[in-house]
Amino acid sequence: MNAIVFDQVSKRYGDVLAVDDLSLSIESGTTVALLGPNGAGKSTSIGMLLGLLKPTGGEISVHGHAPEQAVAAGELGAMLQDGALIPELTVKELVDLVRRLYPRPLPLDQVLELADLGELAGRRANKLSGGQAQRVRFALAVAGAPRVLLLDEPTAAMDVESRLRFWRGMHDYAAGGRTVLFATHYLEEADQHSDRVIVIARGRLAADGTAAQIKARAGGRTVRFTLGEQPAAGLDLLPGVTAVEVEAGAVTLRTADTDATLAGLYRGTTLDVRDLQVAGAGLEDAFLALTRES
Amino acid sequence: MLYYAKTEALRMLRNRRYLIFVVAFPVVLYLINAGIYGKQTDDSGVPYSVALMVSMAAYGALAASMMSSAVPWAQERQTGWLRQLQITPLPGWAIIVTKLCAAMLLVLPSLLLVSVVGVVVEGVSLPVGTWVPLLLALWLGTLPFVALGLAIGSTLSADAAQPAAMISMFALALAGGLWFPPEAFGDTMRTIAELTPSYRYADLGWSVIAGQGLPASDLLVVGAWGLALGAAAVFLYRRATVRS
């Protein structure tokens, strides 16, 4: 059964198309990363899923219901990018307040444990560090035991320690058969913490698969060299090449087969190639390649 | 929702600005003024210590109703706490109704404290039949001011809501004769005062202690302001929370 379905969804702000004909479905019980650079449409998609924004076109459903109904039924919990706490209330009071708004919440102690807030329960919200406040906001997102959890760049402003505790909590929560969708612009986070990665760029679906598939699809290696004033036309026809970038006389080829590409470059062209480098594509490279293609 | 209202009230009671300006200030002002003029009586033979108690209780209630609604509400809208609530099952109308109830609840400390000081320190003694309508009128009569506070909070940013609420509150207190007796006003000021919700609101209290009951004209004006500002608050709240 699908927990989340986007059917040809688009969202326009004036002249800007933030989400462009996006269709995807997420199966219940999976943990999915929504990966994309800033401005890719991640937050807009999450806002629409929560009924905070209305799509310009298309339809969204959460467990078969419209987002507004899903929110009213307590099916959704979320950690949004900017969300202040009430400074005069303690961590425990805040969590309990939000908890009680849901029909079937988790026990208070369990929420505090999931977010690793045991020692901070009695502290006022205005005395928390940035990372601690983020963990409280995670606690607020899970307090109502929603079946679908949405996290918009959850680790922003977290230090290493908070990050570790946060991911542990997220996995514990997801382990109960719940669906988690988290937005991030770090491929590493997507790689380590999700079952499936959906890459979006400029509001469109750029790739969809496991982290390993995404990395493979992005092309294995890069070949870099200097071409100077010589024309770069035809480089994309070399064997194995999946993408070509030329910047100020410097060429970067992305290739699935380095040997074939180099053989073609030296034997098949008359170009004067200098400063040649071959490198394995890093995660960030893979990600950049994917988001640039679309 | 009840728990939400309780936490709303609790947070304000922990807010230093609320405690000083709203709860302590009217009491201190009452003690100073009653110390100077308390022994005199006004035209209808009511001692100033009683009339001032009503004025200061009315001022405290006015301040409480506006300060506990406008600024926190504007802040919550701006900082994303409102959005946090919008994504819970709590319906939108419940948020604003809870805010209203909590603000009404927060009127009580200053209202009751001024009354207690009146009785204990200034020796004010009124029959129960006077206390009950007096306190009820001064409590429920704050509805238009809470609505005004929420309207301000729905419209302005937190930085702008603070001075806007302060200025409205001082203007209402001055024009309504809560600080200086309205008898001291000139004719023009008097005419203006009679149109304000604050004068009519305080006049409910002054009339009760003068033994005249609750004048229908006052109830009418306060009620009309309550309806108008309430409608404005609902409209502005909807505009502020509309899903785009």
Is A219 a residue whose pLDDT tops 60?
no
Convert the pLDDT of each residue in B35-80 to its tens digit. Answer: 888 778 877 778 888 999 999 999 999 999 998 899 999 999 998 8
For A219-293, CATH gives 3.30.70
Residue B229 has what pLDDT? 96
Distance CA A270, CA A66 (A): 60
pLDDT band at B205 (very low <50, low <70, confident <90, very high): very high
Cβ-based interface (< 8 Å): residues of B facing A:
3-4, 7, 10-12, 14-15, 75-76, 79-81, 83-91, 243-244
**Which chain B residue has its CA at the smallest distance from A104's CA?**
B89
Mention every residue, 6+ apart, whose C-beta is less than 8 A from residue B216. none
List the single residue in A53, A73, A83 with the smallest CB-CB distance to B89.
A73
**3-state secondary structure at position A282:** coil
The domain made up of A2-215 has a fold known as Rossmann fold (3.40.50)
Convert the pLDDT of each residue in A57-92 to its tens digit. Answer: 999 999 999 999 999 999 999 999 878 899 899 999
Convert the pLDDT of each residue in B158-172 to its tens digit. Answer: 999 999 999 999 999
Q: Cα dist. B107→A48, A112, B58 in Å?
A: 39, 34, 10
List the single residue in A50, A71, A97 with the smallest CB-CB distance to B89.
A71
Convert the pLDDT of each residue in A38-59 to its tens digit. Answer: 888 999 999 999 999 999 999 9
**What's the distance, CA A249 to chain centroid?**
34
Cβ distance of B88 and A144 shorter than 8 Å: yes
Residue A64 has what pLDDT? 94
Q: A219-244 burial string, b = 16+ CB within 10 Å, else e?
A: bbbbbebebeeeeeeebeebebbbbb
Contact A128, A91 (CB under 8 A): yes
Residue A172 has what pLDDT? 94
Among candidates B175, B211, B153, which has minimal Cα distance to B58?
A: B175
Is B12 a residue whose pLDDT tops 60?
yes
| Mean pLDDT on A240-254 | 85
| Mean pLDDT on A142-168 | 92
Convert the pLDDT of each residue in B72-108 to its tens digit. Answer: 999 999 988 999 999 999 998 899 999 999 999 999 9
Is B200 a residue whose pLDDT tops 80?
yes
Cβ-based interface (< 8 Å): residues of A facing B:
50-54, 71-74, 76-78, 80, 82-86, 88-89, 93, 96-98, 100-103, 137, 140, 144
Residue B102 has what pLDDT? 92
Side chain identity at residue A75, one-letter code: E
Query: Domain coordinates of chain B in residue numbers?
Result: 2-241
Query: Domain coordinates of chain A in residue numbers?
Result: 2-215, 219-293
Among candidates B76, B106, B90, B92, which has minimal Cα distance to B3?
A: B90
